[in-house]
Amino acid sequence: MGAYILRRLMIALPSLLGISVVLFTVLALAPGDPFEELATNPNVPAEVKLALRQKFGLDDPVYLRYFHWLSAMAHGDWGFSFISRVDVDTLIAQRVPVTLAVIGASQVLALAVALPVGILSAVRPYSWFDRIASTLAFIGFSLPTFFTGVLLILLFSIKLDWLPFVFRADLSASGWQWWWEMFKQSVMPIAVLGLFQGATWTRYVRSAVLDVVRLDYVTTARAKGLAERVVVLKHVVRNALIPVVTLVALQMPAVFGGAIVTEQIFRIPGIGSLLIDAILRNDTPVIMAVTFVFACLVIAFNLIADLLYGWLDPRISYR
Amino acid sequence: MQEREIRALIERVRSGEMPRRSFIQRMVGVGLSAPMASMILMHEGIAQTPAPFNYKPTKRGGGGSLKVLWWQGATLLQPHFANGTKDQEGSRIFYEPLACWDKDGNLIPILAAEVPTRENGGLSADGRSVTWKLKRGVTWHDGQPFTADDAVFTWEYAKDPATAAVTSGVYKDVKVDKLDSHTIKVTFSKPTPFWATAFVAAEGMIIPKHLFGPYAGAKSRDAPNNLKPVGTGPYKFVDFKPGDIVRGEIYTNYHMPNRPYFDSIEMKGGGDATSAARAVLQTGEYDYAWNLQVEDEVLKRMEDSGKGVIFIVEGGDIEFLQLNITDPWNEVDGERASPKSKHFAFSDPAVREAMSLVTDRKSIQEFIYGRTGIATANFLNNPSKYRSTNNKLEFNIEKANQLLDGAGWKKGSDGIREKGGKKLHLVYQTSVNSLRQKEQAVVKQGAQKAGIDLELKSVTASVFFSSDVANPDTYGKFWCDIQMYTTTMTQPDPERFMDQYTSWEVSSKANKWQGRNICRWVSEEYDKTFRAAEAELDPVKRAALFIKMNDLPVQANIVVPLISRPRVRGAATKLVTQLTGWDLDLSGLQNWYRET
């Protein structure tokens, strides 16, 4: 097991290196200039523009810039934002907690919806409950989050005036008041992300459970006279959830990507909105760092999925 | 408008026949900025009369929190590194200049004890120096006293090329001396009629020497206070997350009595203009929103909720068409749109004039911009009340047709004119923006009726406005027949602004398309007028020269001004603000309060 993890990590290194080369080249080839606003401002003398470009090494050839970035990264220096003139890691560290909280909560919500609904639908396939659940699930994952987000804002913030739609990371309240305000401002983004994800997962859970529920050992369990609850929870769900767990782990990076849009709509100061801002301002070091974090997440969660799979299903061995 | 006329107007102001405000509006009407007009009057010895601000609160604080929404959030809080107005606004909460501009172009002292004039000995007769008296008893947020040393240091800091301050243009050609602990003298290298640049308005914010002293020059980016501003402003720093939030709390030792009113301020960034408008006008979640570039129809609908109102503040931004007089499609001397080449159609003045005649500015104003745009015929701004008589707002397709017929452009069987086998088929580019695409459609429609076929092209804003040498679609290259964008006058003095039609600023391969004369229009008369204005000491004569410079490219129809775009801001109905089109939104922040 330990050797397996080590081997997988060794394989991950060249992939990360490859990813970084691709990201860096694409960013270098992309149009745009971080000092665009200065370039169009006639009051900024040309010398200052040149000095700034030189200071940030923008005039070096691409491969040189890449090696600078790589060696700095190896030393734990994530780079320096052109726009904010701050180290990139502090920028990212400021944003990560919010994103983790929002995404974590939405994933919990998604599971809390997907598991019971999916299992119930599978246990009684083509019942009324299953039909309604399936229809809702189809609607849920065919509506993109940017649409449902705006829809919720229009309904709950503007028509009903119940919830705020501008997310504030540092609320001034404390104690219960803080929790209540946090709940009010988070409920919409979490619902948007969680229900979207939940809808997809409901379908997966349903089909996974359906596959298992017809197997002979389940019939045997029933024949033994076990209670239906025990049959479903102990015998069916445990086996059916193996592929679902993998899927949840594999989908995590995609969820981070999906959160970008939601963060923009609700003004959540997360890592996704940082990425959008950085792209709009051509702040290459920040774009590079954030996309690199995403790449690391993909690789990490792939590894976690593989490990979980083996742990849940003893038939699989690591070699 | 000639020098003589301006002088006559000044005399009328002096005798009290004409209100000062009307004079300034007249000057704004012919394309000058309000601060410049105000400076003319000051030079002529006519005192400023800023309308007193009716500040009602009788004690400091107690106003709760002020929540403002900047949909492009501040990314740094060091005013001398600002990447744009969003950063200057964020910094302005904490830092202050010596003086700022109000909406009528009056110079209002902030950290200065008084505005320098000839009478109080602040201005020298030769126009080479200004002496500023600093306010006494002002303290920085950390308790240190504010003195002349801080102002002198700010100058040293900003002018050093190694600091790479974006304000260095203002400070590099002046010399600042400390006369005593609260007096400084700014000396110019040549006589300067427009002296209120250093230490004034957005670029004039003064930073504390005791905190930034060790970090001037190449070490500037390491200063810990780049992220934790310590200024003299009404609110002191609490917290900052780049691009997201700036928070401040009341500074109880602020140097103006009973100010500020609010206990804390919060500036939130991110999102888009429409939802920002919604948060202020419809739900009232926020008190103030910056730059609401939203269609007027939408704004009006939101205003109906009664929670907030829209403020339209006149400024100096113009949306205009540029006509290319060089050949953008073929290489001459190894470059497209070479200054040496000639455009097949726009080198003919009749076609240029026709282009101006087929542009329906009134429709653009009425159907696209509503209150947020004012049709204009001047390159500089123009309130409709005092429209310059020099340039006319004419929309006349018949006349355009006659002109083109007369110039030998004959209509072909497809209704498109041609001459010498060349069809009047032109490509018209702008940045991607829903309002701009609608404008393009209006212009295309008008042109079609005159037999000019326009092909519309839109380029992503981040490409169009970039200075990327490798990209063919930047506005600086202008490899196209017609292009449209908004030009902003970032400083009240038009000298730097008006150099964009001089022959030495022609954009070309040689200067990597960084030249400011993007039309590549060259006029000996314009060059001569510009040189004359540069050397002119008498502000009245200088103003007359600028007015002439405004008229020349417009009358040659090199540019076709469309819409003057005032600033559009949203505020809660109860919030009392002090907004100006000539300075930052937050330049009057200390005076903001909420009516009860």
A100-118 tens-digit pLDDT: 888 889 989 999 999 999 9
Q: Yes or no: say if B569 and B587 are a contact pair by the CB < 8 Å rule.
A: no
Q: Is the pLDDT of residue B382 over 70?
A: no
∠ at Cα A109 (A104, A115), nearest 5°? Answer: 120
Give the best residue of B160, B263, B462, B478 to mutate against chain A (max A CB count within 10 A). Answer: B462
The predicted pLDDT at position B378 comes to: 65
Q: Yes or no: say if B137 and B253 are a contact pair by the CB < 8 Å rule.
A: no
| Residue B268 at interface with chain A, using a CB cutoff of 8 Å | yes
> How much of chain B, in percent, has pLDDT values that exceed 70?
96
Q: Yes or no: say if B189 and B174 are a contact pair by the CB < 8 Å rule.
A: yes
Q: Is the pLDDT of residue A33 over 70?
A: no
The predicted pLDDT at position B394 comes to: 77
Classify the C-alpha dihedral B265-B271-B277-B281 as positive or negative.
negative
Residue with tokens 């209670």: A227
Nearest to A43 among B239, B470, B490 (CB): B490
CA-CA distance, A102 to A87, in Å (whole number)? 24
Q: Yes or no: say if B198 and B188 are a contact pair by the CB < 8 Å rule.
A: no
Q: Which of residues 62-91 of A touch B (CB under 8 A)?
A: 80-81, 83-86, 91
Sort out which chain A residues have CB atoms less than 8 A from B85's CB and list them.
none
User: What ipTM was assigned to the predicted interfaces of this complex?
Assistant: 0.78
E strands, B278-409, are 288-289, 308-313, 318-323, 331-332, 335-336, 374-375
Min Cα separation A113/chain B (Å): 29
Q: Each residue of A235-261: pLDDT tens digit?
A: 888 888 888 888 888 887 777 777 888
**Angle in degrees, 0-180, between the axes of helices A128-142 and A88-123, rounded to the nearest 10:** 160
The predicted pLDDT at position B516 comes to: 82
pTM of the model: 0.83
Nearest to A264 among B264, B271, B462 (CB): B271
Residue A253 CB neighbours (<10 A): 18
Q: Are B166 and A42 in contact (CB < 8 Å)?
A: no
| Residue B170 at interface with chain A, using a CB cutoff of 8 Å | yes
**Average pLDDT taken over every residue of chain B:** 87
* Chain CA centroid to CA B325, Å: 27
B170: three-class secondary structure by DSSP? helix
Sort out which chain A residues have CB atoms less than 8 A from B69's CB and list them.
166
Q: Which of B545, B532, B377 is nearest to B2 (CA)?
A: B545
- Segment B368-372 shows an average pLDDT of 87
Phi, psi of B144 (to 5 degrees): -70, 145
Q: Are A281 and B69 in contact (CB < 8 Å)?
A: no
B464: nearest CA partner in chain A: A32
Q: Yes or no: say if B112 and B196 are a contact pair by the CB < 8 Å rule.
A: no
Q: Are A43 and B244 in contact (CB < 8 Å)?
A: no
| Residue A261 at interface with chain B, using a CB cutoff of 8 Å | no
- Segment A26-36 shows an average pLDDT of 73
Q: Which two tokens stand for residue A5?
A: 């993890």
Q: Is the pLDDT of residue B381 over 50?
A: no
Residue B458 CB neighbours (<10 A): 17
**In this predicted structure, which of B13-17, B246-250, B377-381 has the lowest mean pLDDT?**
B377-381
Q: Each residue of A186-235: pLDDT tens digit?
A: 899 999 988 888 998 999 899 888 888 888 888 898 888 888 888 888 88
Q: Is the pLDDT of residue B260 over 90?
A: yes
The predicted pLDDT at position A32 comes to: 65
Nearest to A165 among B264, B279, B497 (CB): B279
Sort out which chain A residues have CB atoms less than 8 A from B462's CB and list them.
31-32, 36, 280, 282
- Segment A138-157 shows an average pLDDT of 88
**Angle in degrees, 0-180, between the axes of helices B3-14 and B539-555, rounded to the nearest 10:** 130
Higher pLDDT: A58 or B517? It is B517
B80: nearest CA partner in chain A: A44
